[in-house]
Amino acid sequence: MTTAPGFPEATDGAQARALNTSGGPVRVGGSLFVHADVSGTVRERIATVIIDEHADMARVVAGRVATLMRERAAAGRPIVLGLATGSTPIGVYRELIRLHREEGLSFRHVISFNLDEYYPMRPDSIHSYHRFMWENLFSHVDIDPANVHIPDGALDRADVDAACARYEAAIAAAGGVDFQLLGIGKTGHIGFNEPGSGEQSRTRVVHLDSVTRRDAAADFFGEENVPREAITMGIATILQAREIAILATGEHKSGIVRRAVEGEIDRAVAATFLQRHPHTTFYVDHAAAVDLTRVATPWLIDEVHWDDALAVRAVTWLAGRCEKAILKLTQHDYAENALSSLVARHGSPGAVNGLVFNVLGAKIRGKSKLPRGMKTLCFSPHPDDDVISMGGILRKFVENDNRMTVAYMTSGNIAVFDHDVRRYMDFLVRLAHEHMGDSAAVRDLAATVHAFLDAKRAGQVDITEVQDIKRIIRESEAVSGIEVMGLTRAHARFLNLPFYQTGKVRKDPIGPPDVAIVADLLREVQPEIIFVAGDLSDPHGTHRMCKEAIDSALHEVYDAPGAPARPQVWLYRGAWQEWPITEATVLVPLSQEELTLKIQAIFKHQSQKDSAPFPGQDAREFWQRVEQRNKATSAQLDHLGLAEYFAMEAYVIA
């Protein structure tokens, strides 16, 4: 994280707005350096704070909430909080719980109103927001249950409208919402205010957009199980809050963040209405901010300090904009696109072109330029991320006689269809009957499994026996996949980290047992190179959590006095996106045969083939995404005038 002296320091977005009269940098959260501004720039219409670390974001937002709570308590007045659900605010709730337990933050004077709830939805369902809030916040603090308000998804249809009116009346009777916490959906919805929601809308029943339902499919173990309606606060209700914080993390939110912050107010994107609110702060991580103009193309806004990394980004952008190879860019191209200062710094367009051409070319490493004979540990969050994301380099490392270990961090068992369990159970029964006699153990297991699956409700957590079968299915597929790459079962390690073992899509936080397992493996293998999933678009957050466990284990093993030298860390990305060539440290070319081999390894994951349980918004199969992604990376280099390759993988050496 970059830090610099002399910048004003704020504790939260509200203070940052007050300090940030010039649009310059402001520190938020002690030593954390972020960008903030009042109007953003002329392009930003909501004050936006970029905070890379999610723990820091949680501390900043929870700190603001805690400050307001203490101020109101000291004045003998209650505070009214508007609360959101989903994966993004969980960190804020965990920090509030910590403040309650360790610093005495009391919730006795808090009145809460939740944004929304699915309809119909029983409050005890594992999918209900009622249950979510009690599990993730309320049951851990001293709030009065009578002060907790969550829309009732179990009402008869005839009673819903009256209940919505009472919800609005209760908010008004409490004095209105003092601080509203929001997330943002891919459609730009806040709460469940889907495209088309009006600025004057109030608490009501809404029909859920198909994108929203698809996003929720993983939580419900299938889109067909997602309710088609929900109860939500309206836009007008949200805008009446005195202060609003909206959070977004991950690259998959970057497009809608830019639309909400920089675009025109539009009923098709509910979050744009927040531009009318004078005390809204958007908190985003760098991944969610990458499309903001000040991050993507800062030279279009103001003077910039040109270093080689920024020059590479600018020239690559310019070449794409002008549809020219890098070495063909002219003075006119630079002048017409606000890049004259870059040419002035280097003396001529040719000098800039040559610099960027050489920097990009130096990133390309074929097999002869890759490590040889090194102890290498590949961490794969799920049992297929290794071959999906780094199948090409994995094969090249094997060919270069590197000593390989592939560590599968989670079982991935929730991503196996029930029909696969039935199929494998039938195989075991037939095998037992034909080769081992009529095994009582197999018959008993089959009876238990079939009885459960026959009675299983949509989204119900699997019994242990079913979870184990699904885990074993994924493990056998993983071994089959690396065998295509020239490795064996002896090269595979299945860590089965505890945080994942909830049986649900939502996982426990990373804890000491998870870190200990990873740390023990590091001590055993003593790797010189490790591969880590560094992508920020995994919709379920598992990749991010696995990286958190690895980072903590690296600190434990290598940062103590007298510890061995840290291994080199190579970051790859998962099934959703590739590293941009401007960010990548290493670009690994693949031949047609090598890409075919990689796809064959992906095919070994039969439980994820044809129709994966959790494919995200991308309807393509994983092998199709890989093929198009790897070919697109090489094609971009070709268009820039560099060497032409069939396909290419990208990595960042941290």
Active site members = 194
CB atoms within 10 A of CB 619: 10
Residues whose CB is less than 8 angstroms from the CB of residue 463 and which lie 6 or more positions away in sequence, other chains included: 448, 452
Contact 69, 103 (CB under 8 A): no
Cα dist from 418 to 222, 240, 491, 584, whole Å: 12, 46, 29, 39
Concatenate the DSSP letters of all residues of 452-503 into one string: HHHHPPTTPPPPHHHHHHHHHHHHHHHHHHHHHTT--GGGEEE---GGGTTS
- Cα separation, 417 vs 612, in Å, equals 8
Contact 388, 574 (CB under 8 A): yes
CB atoms within 10 A of CB 367: 15
Q: Which amino acid is at 607?
A: S
Sheet of 492-494, strand order:
492-494, 403-408, 375-380, 529-533, 568-572, 647-653, 586-590
CB atoms within 10 A of CB 459: 16
Contact 46, 280 (CB under 8 A): yes
- Cα separation, 488 vs 254, in Å, equals 40
Does an H or E element contain 627, and which?
helix 622-639
Structure tokens at 436: 């081992």
